[in-house]
């Protein structure tokens, strides 16, 4: 029978949003039965477990602290108490991290511990957050279209955030450290020993960052006494927004950050494909093709877009969705400063939040989620709803605009309008940016005669362009999915490869063609072993419609690495029938406020 160890001597109370509950200072992680069918016993001991790489004295954003004297947080305890009293259930969501077990984060590019600690201040009470009633929606504006008045207000808010005491959890560095702690290995999964907690590369990517921006926005509004203040979004999916927004380039502004790639300052066009193409018109065309592929063409299931399931006990890299591994990753790496040791600021998770542009970038990532949910043609995308309770009941901890520690769940953030905000309506030129049909087959035929069968090639280290023949499930324009499996990566590196089907030319700098199927990419991130294995799948139905494959038994797959050197091993490639071939229902209307 599993046991939960709590001290006998401590008593007291703390408030939650609903009722008063007994106060038990947070102790070490408890190990619940993997099958979740056993009851918990409580005994009065303290095993003193701590985060695997925490230290006695660590430099934090508040200065040097003795970890033995840190105040105890309650974030994990409530989960334990609820498990002890709640009826047995099969759900097993990720629980909120245990703040007093937060340890040293790791530089993902070097694998070494950071010389700063990204852990937040620890307090004795946490409340379950309830969304306030929405009386009027905030409208998040495009950063390229804001007024001078807005720019002044935004800079004022950031300036006041930077002037807050460093121990204030709402201060600029404390807010930046949220991303570091959740993304660079400072937290363990509660109840799972030393298994890291990571909010990237899974279905938690969108909901975590939505909550992150929600509280960041509310803090800024509080600091300027304007509850209507809304964060801007970097409209990098529209040609008019494909440069760093001008207001971020003023060296005298509070929202300026000097740690950016100097070669990619305006008028440089963001390269969402990381192809290195120097023709700005071609880059724009590539970008629109990428957006069409990751939002519409390449997804056969909701997790293809959102990311793979991430539950308690899951390794930290189950697999990113199309948007996360595509445009999101490219912008991080494209802006990050190569003059810095590890691509700081935006190019590394631990430092990304130090650039105000990060929140503007993720505003557009969040906007992609809202577009996916409510505004895309139903005939072109699958069902867009995740109803799994392990997803909906996942928890995070944030400090709100009043410096109150709050616990939130995914289920409360699935509607942006219920959270009180929406996005300025901007044209979506990628929505109909379907590549032109490919009719020439002679060159493909010649290339196919020189390519090896896939079963004779894999596994392989992807350090150069690879072409292989992969059998279809049947002749004709079948409803099929390409599966690239056992992708094992060095998680400390930026890695990326593109996928082409029956490509009729060798110009890998151009993506605006029917042969482009999609991509895999990652921002460096921490894992315990510095490796992770995942798979991706790319829907081929529309791609087949745009090329002559009716009589083909095999298709030619081309893998093009965009990174330098090794770092990716691919276990195999296959084509299967689309597991979700039925048309998706029309998306639900965006919930009203």
Residue carrying structure tokens 């894999």: 458
Q: Are 142 and 242 in contact (CB under 8 A)?
A: no
Answer yes or no: are the C-beta atoms of 525 and 200 closer than 8 Å. Answer: yes
Binding site for Cu cation: which residues? 179, 200, 209, 328, 332, 362
144 with 246: CB under 8 angstroms? yes
Q: Which of 24, 30, 206, 209 is catalytic?
A: 209
Structure tokens at 557: 């797959």
Annotated binding site: 179, 200, 209, 328, 332, 362
Among 328, 361, 525, 563, the active-site one is 328
Of the candidates 144, 200, 361, 563, the residue annotated as catalytic is 200
As a whole number of angstroms, the distance between CA 48 and CA 425 comes to: 53
CA distance 200 to 181: 12
Q: Please choose, from the candidates 494, 526, 532, the residue with its C-alpha nearest in 3D space to the C-alpha of residue 103.
A: 526
Do residues 351 and 116 lie in contact, with contact meaning Cβ atoms separated by under 8 Å? no
Q: Does residue 5 carry a catalytic annotation?
A: no
Please say whether the beta carbons of 29 and 79 come within 8 A: no
Active site residue 361: no
> Which position among 215, 305, 349, 500 bears the catalytic label?
349
Which of the residues 29, 332, 525, 563 is marked catalytic? Answer: 332
* From 29, 144, 361, 362, active-site residue: 362
172 has catalytic annotation: no
Q: How far apart are CA 344 and CA 355, in angstroms?
A: 9
481, 202, 491: which is closest to 319 by C-alpha? 202
Tokens in use for 542?
A: 């529309």
Q: Decide if 15 contacts 66 (C-beta within 8 A).
A: no
* Annotated catalytic residue 349: yes
* 362: annotated active-site residue: yes
To the query of whether residue 144 is one of the catalytic residues in this protein, the response is no
3 state DSSP class of 392: helix
Task: Report how far Cα 248 is from the mean position of its chain's Cα atoms.
Answer: 23
Confirm if 361 and 349 have CB atoms less than 8 A apart: no
Give the active site residue among 30, 144, 172, 179: 179
Residues taking part in catalysis: 179, 200, 209, 328, 332, 349, 362
């Amino acid at each position: 029978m599993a046991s939960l160890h709590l001290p006998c001597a401590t008593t007291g109370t703390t408030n939650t949003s609903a009722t008063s509950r007994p106060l038990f200072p947070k102790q070490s992680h408890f190990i619940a039965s993997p099958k979740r069918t056993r009851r918990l016993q409580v005994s009065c001991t303290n095993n003193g477990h701590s985060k695997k790489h925490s230290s006695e004295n660590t430099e934090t954003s508040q200065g040097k602290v003795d970890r033995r004297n840190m105040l105890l947080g309650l974030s994990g305890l409530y989960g334990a108490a609820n498990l002890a009293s709640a009826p047995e259930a099969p759900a097993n969501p990720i629980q909120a991290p245990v703040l007093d077990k937060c340890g040293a984060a790791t530089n993902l590019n070097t694998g070494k511990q950071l010389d700063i600690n990204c852990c937040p201040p620890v307090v004795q009470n946490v409340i379950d957050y309830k969304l306030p009633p929405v009386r009027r929606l905030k409208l998040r504006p495009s950063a390229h279209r804001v007024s001078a008045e807005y720019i002044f207000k935004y800079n004022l808010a950031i300036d006041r955030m930077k002037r807050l005491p460093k121990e204030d959890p709402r201060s600029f560095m404390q807010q930046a450290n949220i991303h570091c702690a959740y993304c660079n290995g400072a937290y363990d999964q509660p109840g799972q020993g030393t298994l890291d907690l990571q909010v990237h590369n899974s279905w938690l990517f969108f909901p975590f960052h939505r909550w992150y921006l929600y509280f960041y926005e509310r803090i800024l509004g509080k600091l300027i006494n304007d509850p209507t203040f809304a964060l801007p979004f970097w409209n990098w999916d529209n040609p008019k927004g494909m440069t760093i927004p001008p207001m971020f380039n003023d060296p005298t502004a509070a929202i300026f950050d000097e740690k950016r790639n100097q070669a990619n300052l305006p008028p440089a066009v963001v390269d969402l494909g990381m192809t290195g193409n120097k023709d700005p018109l071609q880059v724009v065309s590539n970008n629109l093709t990428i957006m069409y592929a990751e939002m519409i063409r390449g997804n056969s299931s909701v997790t293809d877009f959102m990311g793979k399931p991430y539950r308690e006990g899951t390794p930290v890299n189950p697999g990113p969705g199309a948007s996360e591994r595509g445009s999101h990753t490219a912008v991080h790496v494209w802006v990050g400063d190569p003059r810095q040791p590890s691509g700081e600021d935006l190019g590394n998770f631990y430092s990304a939040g130090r650039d105000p542009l990060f929140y503007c970038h993720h505003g557009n990532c969040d906007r992609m989620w809202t577009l996916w949910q409510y505004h895309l043609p139903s005939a072109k995308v699958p069902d867009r709803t995740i109803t799994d309770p392990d997803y909906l009941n996942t928890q995070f901890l944030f400090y709100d605009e009043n410096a109150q520690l709050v616990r939130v769940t995914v289920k409360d953030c699935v509607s942006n309008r219920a959270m009180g905000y929406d996005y300025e309506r901007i044209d979506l030129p990628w929505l109909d940016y379907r590549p032109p049909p490919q009719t020439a087959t002679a060159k493909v035929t010649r290339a196919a005669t020189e390519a090896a069968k896939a079963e004779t090639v894999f596994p392989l280290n992807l350090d150069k362009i690879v072409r292989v023949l992969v059998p279809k499930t049947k002749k004709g324009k079948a409803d099929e999915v390409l599966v690239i499996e056992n992708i094992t990566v060095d998680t400390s590196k930026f890695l990326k490869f593109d996928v082409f089907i029956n490509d009729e030319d060798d110009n890998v700098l151009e993506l605006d063609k029917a042969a482009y199927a999609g991509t895999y990419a990652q921002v460096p991130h921490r894992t315990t072993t510095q490796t992770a294995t995942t798979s991706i799948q790319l829907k081929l139905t529309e791609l087949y419609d745009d090329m002559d494959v009716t009589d083909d038994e095999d298709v030619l797959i081309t893998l093009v690495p965009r990174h330098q050197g090794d770092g990716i091993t691919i276990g195999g490639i296959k084509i299967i029938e689309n597991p979700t071939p039925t048309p998706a229902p029309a998306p639900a209307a965006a919930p009203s406020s």
